[in-house]
Amino acid sequence: MLLLALLQSLQQPPQPPPADFLKRAHTYSIVAYDSVTGDLGIAVQSKFPNVGGLVPWARAGVGAVATQSLSNTDYGEKGLELIARGATAPEAMRIIMRGDTRPSQRQVGMVDAHGNAASWTGDSTFDWAGGRTGGAGGPAGGKGQLITGHGYAAQANIMVSDATVRNMAETFERTRGSLADRLLAALVAGQAGGGDRRGMQSAALLVVRAHAGYLGTTDRYIDIRVYDAPDPIKELQRLYALHKLYFFTTDSADLQPITPALQKELEAILLVEPVNQPQKWLAAPQPSPNDTFLTALANFMYWENYDVRVRMDGKIDRVVLEDIRKNRKSVRR
């Protein structure tokens, strides 16, 4: 009888996916808090277009949220508001879940600015689905479980296996560096664990820090989205490198004085650029790194989008200098 039932089940046509299948963000993500800098952030990858416009939510000094599977923005909007009013991440999660009409189809990771973390995986999410939070023993949970911990929450659905979440958690814990670096390392490790059963399509990295955005005007320290790409994590890494160049301020360890030899090298550029413009940054060589030279160099750097690394003190950012040299090898003397 058992063999007959098995044969009958194999002969049955596959069941069609539920009507809302395409609306679900089949995803793996990690939300985390950095106790040293206060940074809060999310890294996420999915076989779903523009996952960065749907899954990650964060507010500086408050918390970070990833809402996926059948994504519900209440966990982002209302969850962060509840945390801002004093709830912990697990408390905010439970409050939103009580008013959610479809919690079994959700998957959510949440962390607050005190490091309290929670991860929920509904029992109607597709295999493999589950999560893990930081803390002693690294609590892990499957479908129908809300787990809590400290520091981070990693979660995934429609994965090849639980290796994706396990890899993300273990890699995040052992990686050193900034929160963004650790989140990206976790994302790479998650893909190495098998990732989404259907493949890859989009990815995002969001990190918030008070007044750390462009020229201190926003809290969005890092906000990078890969809408659609064959290898979205590789593209995310490329864009992160560009973001660091154009939006991170100078590290004092990277400052170097503009020596006579370096001044001559830079003047070779300032005397001929902007290309196809009659007026160049510098009309003639200068005897020293004086105001005329430094103003010309600053205008050149603004033109090239090195805004946050411009200086007027006779020094130059090594990171910018390396990029200038890389892009103008034919101009160098």
| pLDDT for res 7 | 35
Is residue 5 domain-resident? no
Which tens digits make up the pLDDT trace of 279-323? 999 999 999 999 999 999 999 999 999 999 999 999 999 999 999
| Co-location of 113 and 223 in the same domain | yes
| pLDDT for res 22 | 42
Mean pLDDT computed over 191-201: 77
pLDDT top residue among 164 and 137:
164
Residue length of the chain:
333
Q: Whole domain around residue 256: which residue ranges?
A: 252-327
Instruction: Compute the mean pLDDT over every residue in the chain, rounded to the nearest whole number.
Output: 89
Residue 31 sits in a domain whose CATH number is 3.60.20.10
| pLDDT for res 110 | 98
| Co-location of 119 and 211 in the same domain | yes
| Residue 311, burial from CB neighbour count under 10 angstroms (0-12, 13-18, 19+) | middle
Q: Is the pLDDT of residue 216 over 90?
A: no
Distance (Å, whole) CA 196 – CA 198:
5
| Co-location of 38 and 120 in the same domain | yes
Mean pLDDT computed over 36-50: 95
Domain boundary among 247, 279, 295: 247
User: 0.95 cut: is pTM over it?
Assistant: no
Q: Is the pLDDT of residue 21 over 90?
A: no
| Co-location of 147 and 294 in the same domain | no
Is residue 38 domain-resident? yes
Is residue 243 domain-resident? yes
Is residue 16 domain-resident? no
Give 12's pLDDT tier (boundaries 50, 70, 90).
very low
Is residue 320 domain-resident? yes
Mark out the alpha helices in the chain (DSSP H runs).
2-11, 74-84, 89-98, 163-174, 179-192, 232-247, 260-270, 291-303, 318-327
Give 192's pLDDT tier (boundaries 50, 70, 90).
confident
| Co-location of 269 and 318 in the same domain | yes
Domain boundary among 212, 247, 282: 247
Domain boundary among 219, 247, 275: 247
Mean pLDDT computed over 186-199: 81
Q: Using alpha carbons only, give the angle 150, 154, 158 rounded to the nearest 5 degrees.
A: 155
Give 3's pLDDT tier (boundaries 50, 70, 90).
very low
Q: Using alpha carbons only, give the angle 200, 205, 211 rounded to the nearest 5 degrees.
A: 170
Mean pLDDT computed over 76-100: 97
| Co-location of 31 and 147 in the same domain | yes
Mean pLDDT computed over 31-39: 97
Which tens digits make up the pLDDT trace of 261-278? 999 999 999 999 999 899
| Residue 17, burial from CB neighbour count under 10 angstroms (0-12, 13-18, 19+) | exposed
Beta bridge partners of 32: 41, 152
Is residue 11 domain-resident? no
- Percentage with pLDDT > 90 across the chain: 77
Give 16's pLDDT tier (boundaries 50, 70, 90).
very low
Nearest to 246 by CA among 299, 306, 320, 298: 306
| Co-location of 181 and 288 in the same domain | no
Beta bridge partners of 262: none
Q: How far is CA 238 from the centre of its chain?
A: 12
| pLDDT for res 1 | 41
Instruction: Specify the number of domains making up the chain.
Output: 2
| pLDDT for res 136 | 67
Give 247's pLDDT tier (boundaries 50, 70, 90).
very high
Q: Is the pLDDT of residue 98 over 50?
A: yes
